[in-house]
Every structure is written in structure tokens, then in C-alpha cells.
Amino acid sequence: MWQRQRFKSWLDLGTGLVKSKFEMDLHLKNLFDRFQEQFGSGPGLGPGSGTCLMKVEGIAPNFIKSLFKASAALYRTDPWKRLCPGHIFGVRVGKDADWSGKKQPFPCVQFVGGDGGDIGFHMFRSQSDAKKMTGSRETVQVPNVELLRVTYEREALMFPSNRKMIKSLSLEVSGSDRFPVIDVARCTSSGSLRFRHPSSEELRFVYAFVKAIALVHPLLQEDKEGCPKWSRLMYFEPFIETVDVQWPQEMVKGYDLVAVTISHPHGQAYEEKASSTASSTPTKYAELSKEETFVEVRVYPNGSLKQCAACEKEVHNEQALSCGQCKAVVYCSSVCQKQHTKETHKSICGLYKAMMEREEELAMNIFVFACDADQPCKWLESLGIHQKGMWRRKCSCYSHCPFGLLPVKGGLWDSWGGLDDEEFPRDSSFQHHVRDGMSSPILLSGWSEYYNLRSLPLSSPVAEILSHPLTVYYVLTTLNISSKNLLQKGKEVIVHYLGPEGELDWMPTFAEVGHLLDGLGNVQIVMVGSEVPTKLSGTTSGIGSRVRVNLVRGVYQEEASYLPPPHVIVALNCGLDSYANWGGALNSIKSMGVPAFFTDQSELSCANGKQVLRSAGLHITHPVTPNPFRSPVKHHVPSSNLPSYSNAMEIPAFHHYQYFFPSHLIYPYHLAPENYLHWTETPVSHIFSVDLPGVRKEEIKVQVEDSAYLIIRTQRIEEEEESTEQPSRTFMRKFRIPGQADIERISARYEAGVLTVTVPRSLRRAFFIEPTDVPERLQVLARAA
């Protein structure tokens, strides 16, 4: 009896223990779940919110694709190697007036997860919010503070709605298995979190930041002296950088480019001056002072002597005079400077000053080797590659040897001049970019991304030669939609490559085009030019498994009809304004009706080249913009100090139509070149204005073509008597009418030498015009009143 009672008591006691353990486990699980919900498994606010970009109002699939593509490019640059929540960046996208509320949505950004947990970045509405919510490793919750989160999560851990979106849109992967999750989180006073979908405007802001920070974060320089001795946080020197970001077509709202300024620490000063343009680009250009000044610039005692811009005399003394305002033009004496300033330079001094101020933007500061080839032999000697391999074309030592006929020992190591194995790209594909058994062309945004993909140190100078093949690849996969589509379908793209010179000795580098195609499509490059040696003309070389190069000696206009029809035409460092024989080639390009892409060494050359293209009837489809694969090595023009780099600028042209991209993205309004047209948007209309001094109303025509393109031009009316007035200015612009415009109510007014064309916005939704109902050519819609 006693034993039975003792056993019952023990059983009751045991049951109590089991029950207590169960309750404790349940309590700990609930506690852990709440912790996970609030703080996540690492730095950040949580592992996921359930939001989905497909549910954002006004979103389009291509919008999402571009955002994921940009996020993947940022992921590959791996900013988390050095950045953590303690580094708060300032970001500014365009002007305050470009955003609702007339202020920047998220001017502060921090990166999270670099030392554990989910990686991503957080965007805050103010610096005080960023500081209050920044912990040593985690983002601290602060009631009623809202922030935008971008977290790179593994696909397996994502919510079903996000996985479904990724699969249906075939979005680009970040790394091997991560995708960005974007939401806006708010901490409540009770300690819980509330999430919402980001707006389409907030996503545009995110896109601009991602594109910009991927370019500039490698430029951060560690400040070893300014940080506390035992600090775990890496300190950086004060930093501010402005880059132009190109909106994808589906994100464009009036302007194709936007200036994005990144600063660290947050609050680095920058200046935004009032401007009469509607440009989204903050301007840094000061008005010119009327006082003439002189400054001295050093002339280097080598083969690239400076040359007086006025008399073209070589400056042999060690010091030369330069314009004190723009510091761009070189003179041999004050007499030449005064004469040249009075006759020519005064009208363009401000433009040159603007170009000089963009020198930092054009410079590739990510590279650690000396980027100045004023003395190419010494530069190559410092790298140990002088008179070796393909580098023999980078100085004058082998100028006696025709292009394409440099003696070759053989082997990639010899071609790259004996660089160390890790300093040049191997002749191999990017196998790690194959996903789910399927390949796709690798999309690159610039040198940082390429060097990271190839695991090249930034001390490697190969970008100087690779600028040519990677510019071609950039044209085929980024700038030209039709060639990109052909490559994605596994088809061949034919490129007509005009005017090759040094490229004839750099053939091994074009294999990189095939490697970047990642198993898709083929490229046939037909190089045509007078510098092709006779013995090589008509030959075909297989450069890797996906690239073929045909060499043809002759001028393009004579050889074009015998060549396979191209999909794309490319001319690198073309010098459109320097060679008279471009006229016949441009006429041939016009007759073919295919996209053509030109690069040149400076903004000035491209500005002059634009006039050559327009004279030939080819229209500019994009603004002149820096080529992300320009050479990092600066070259010198004898008579000026203007920034000059191989493949520095690009001008895409196409003769059938012209998208309108305002040139004030390149030039300040008060220094507008010819054919400048000012575009202003209002809630009810688009207003285009242009200065036409000396033009009469009867000579102005405003026309519409195909109900889609607006043409503004002047047509001189001949008179019997010669006019003593200032000769009228010739003007011609053609551009696509903005979407949802009421073309039936377009009006024009000409007053005080200024033509103003008003294109009312349509209050209707999208409409369709049957092409058969539209006249074949031009329909006069409005004349100057």
C-alpha cells in the first residue's frame, strides 16, 4: 500500500515535470519567434515582410527586371567587404523638386550584414533617423520611424509570392541564389513592425542609388590616421562623388540621365545653383568673371609638346600660358591669348570650363596604376611591359611596323607582355554564371564589375587595351536592343567595325566578347579600314569559339555593298570632325538604316561629331555620355588640357527617328550650343522653347510626322535684295512626342526671337492610331503665330 502510494506520488511529480518542461519550451519558442519577427537572425529588421513588387501601384515587369539587374550588379561589387552600419552615406538623386514633397525621399543609407546575418542596405528619411537606429551590428528599433530596406535573401527562404514573381519574370540572380527583397518598415510603439509596399517613386530612387554606389564605393580611401587606435570600424577619408545614372526606358520621366551624388560621411557639402533649365542634373558651373587672367601650366619635355591654340607654334619653353578662366586652352604668349580670346575663345570659354570641371568624373580613379600616358614609354616601363606583346602599339617605338603585323611569339602570356598570371584575363569562360543549366550574356556596368568577375587586381593595366572589345560588347548587350535580343536567342550578330588601327594587333582580347556571351549567340566582326594590311585583307580569324573577325582593306563606302549586311555599325575613337572622308561612309550608313555607334576621345570631339552626323542626315538617339568602358589612361591634346581618354564618349545614332534627350544634360543653358532646345514639363503640358535670333516667322515650321514625332525647323526664304541684318540661323530638331500628348491641340508662338511650342497633355488614357490613317510624310500641324 505504501509502495503503491509512493509510486502514485512519483508519477504525479513526474507528470508535473513533463508538463513544466513542455510549457517552458512553448514559452521559449514564442519568445524566440517574437525575437525573430522583430530583429531577424542578424543585422536588419527581420527575415521577410511578405511584400511583393508586383503589387506596387504603377509597376511594370521591365521596371522590376531593371531593378533586379542593378541590384545584382551591386552585389557582385561586394561593398560589404568594408562597409557596415557605422558608415552612413549621404545620397542625392537629381534635384529636390524632382520628388514629391520637394525633398529627397531617403537621403541617408547604411549597409548591413557585412559581419553576419542577411546582407542588404537600409535607407533613412533623415540623418537623425539613421543615427538613432544604428547599432553596432543591428538596426535598432525606434518607434514611429520609417525606413526602406533592401535585403538580399536566399530564394529558398523567401515568401511564395516573391518566388512566384522571380520565376514568372526570370529575374536576374544576385550571386548564386539571392534576390533583393524591397519593403518599407515602420516600428510601432508596442515593439512590433509594420510593412508596406514601396511606391514606384521610391523604387526609382533605390535604382538610382544602387547604380551610383556600385560605381563609387570602390573609390573610398581608408583613413588610417583619423580613426581611433583600437576601433574595429574602418574609417574613410571624406568623400563626395557625382555620377550620371541612365534611367532604363521604362523609368524615364522626361530625362534620360540623372545626377546622383554620394557622400561619406553624410552631410559632405555640395552646391546646387538655381538654373533656368529643367535638368535634373545639379550644376557646379560658376558664371565667368569679366576680368582676364593668366595662369601658367607646365609643358612636359617629351614628344607631346604643347601647341599654341592661336598660332599653332610649339611651346618649347618650360612654362606656357593658359586661359585663366577655363584653364583649357594653351598659348605661347599673352599676345596670342588676347587675340584668340577676342576672336574665338571668348564665346566658348564657359563651355570649356564646364568640360574641364568634368575631368574628375571622366577619370577612372578606381585604378591604382598611374593613369597618365603623357610619356607612354616611361609609363609602360614603370609597369615592366614596354616594347612587349600587345603593348608595343601604345607608344611610338613600333610606329614603323604596319598595324596588324607586329611579330608575335605566341601564347596569351606573351601577348600581355609577360604580366603576372593574375594580372590579365585568362582565355576561359565564366562557368559560375550558368544557372539552372541555362546561360545568359553577362551584363556589365563598368570596370569595377569586370575586374571583380575576372578577379583582377586594380593594379592591372589591361583596361587600356580591353577598352575596345568591351566597348563593342557594351554596345551589343546594353545600348542596342535588337542585337541583344538576337544574342539571347542564340543567333549571330554581324558588326561592321570601321577604321581599325591598333585593334588589329589586339585580336586576342576580342575573345573576351565570346566569353562574356556565356554560351549564347555568336558575333561576326567585319573590320574595314585603310590601315588593314594588304596581306591580311580578306582573311577570317576565329577568336575563341563565339567570335569571328573578317579583315577588309578599303574605304567603307566602297566595300559596304560587298559585305554581309550588318545588325550594328561601330566606329571607335572615330574623329568624325577630323577626317573629311567620313562623308561617304556616313551616307552608306544612312542608306542601310541600321543603328550606328561612335566613340571619341573627348566631349569636345563628340560635340563636333554630332554636327557632322546631323549634316549627313543621321540623328542622335542618346545624349553624349561617358562610356563606362573608356580607357583609364589620359591622353593629351597639344593645344588644350581638355580631358581626353580613348573611347571616352559615345554617340549612338540612327537615321529613322530620334528620341529626345535634352542637351542641357551636357551643357549649361547659358552656354547652349546650336540646335539647343529647352524642354519644360508642367502638370498640363510639355513646353519646348528655342532661341532663333534673326529668323522671321515665315521661315519657321512646326510639323508632325506619323503622329509620333515633332519636327521644328527653319527654312530660309530667298529675297531679291540682300538683307543687311544678321544672317538667320539654321535650325532642325526632330524628336519623339512625349507619351499621352494631345497632338490635335499643339500650338506654337514666336516672340522676341524665341519660339515656344506647347504640347498639351492628354486627359484620355492611351489611344491607338491606325498607321494607314496617317499621311506618309509630314503634316503641318502648327505654324508660328
pLDDT at residue 96, as a whole number: 84
From 443, 517, 445, select the one nearest 487 (Cα to Cα).
517
Burial class (CB in 10 A: 0-12, 13-18, 19+), 761: middle
Cis preceding linkage at 265, omega within 30: yes
3-class DSSP assignment, residue 4? helix
pLDDT at residue 27, as a whole number: 61
- Work out the number of other CB atoms within 10 angstroms of the CB of residue 393: 21
Structure-block grid coordinates of residue 343: 576672336
From 494, 499, 594, 595, select the one nearest 556 (Cα to Cα).
499
pLDDT at residue 622, as a whole number: 62
Range list for CATH 3.40.50 in the chain:
404-654
pLDDT at residue 391, as a whole number: 93
Range list for CATH 2.60.40.790 in the chain:
677-717+729-783
CA separation for the pair 421, 423 (Å, rounded): 6
From 761, 621, 612, select the one nearest 682 (Cα to Cα).
761
Q: Which fold has domain 677-717+729-783?
A: Immunoglobulin-like (2.60.40)
pLDDT at residue 485, as a whole number: 84
Determine the residue type at 293: T
From 143, 140, 89, 126, select the one nearest 111 (Cα to Cα).
89
Q: What are the per-10-residue average pLDDT scores of the chain (785 residues)?
A: 41 47 58 50 56 87 90 88 87 88 91 81 89 72 86 86 88 88 86 85 94 85 69 78 79 74 73 36 34 39 62 68 80 81 76 78 80 80 91 88 85 88 85 53 84 89 94 89 86 95 93 88 94 90 89 92 93 85 88 90 83 79 79 81 86 50 32 53 75 80 80 71 50 72 85 83 47 38 37
pLDDT at residue 127, as a whole number: 86
- DSSP letter assigned to residue 590: H
The H or E element spanning position 760 is: strand 754-760
3-class DSSP assignment, residue 723? coil
Buried b / exposed e across 145-160, counting CB within 10 Å, b at 16+?
Answer: bebbbbbbbeeeebbe
CA angle centred on 566, ends 560 and 567, rounded to 5°: 155
CATH architecture of 404-654: 3-Layer(aba) Sandwich (3.40)
pLDDT at residue 644, as a whole number: 87
- DSSP letter assigned to residue 153: E
Buried b / exposed e across 430-447, counting CB within 10 Å, b at 16+?
Answer: eeebeeeeebbbbbbbbb
Q: How far, CA to CA in Å, does 48 sit from each of 92, 118, 151, 460, 730?
A: 27, 10, 9, 41, 60
pLDDT at residue 428, as a whole number: 82
* Alpha carbon of residue 248 to chain centroid: 10
The H or E element spanning position 471 is: helix 463-474
Q: Are 587 and 557 in contact (CB under 8 A)?
A: yes
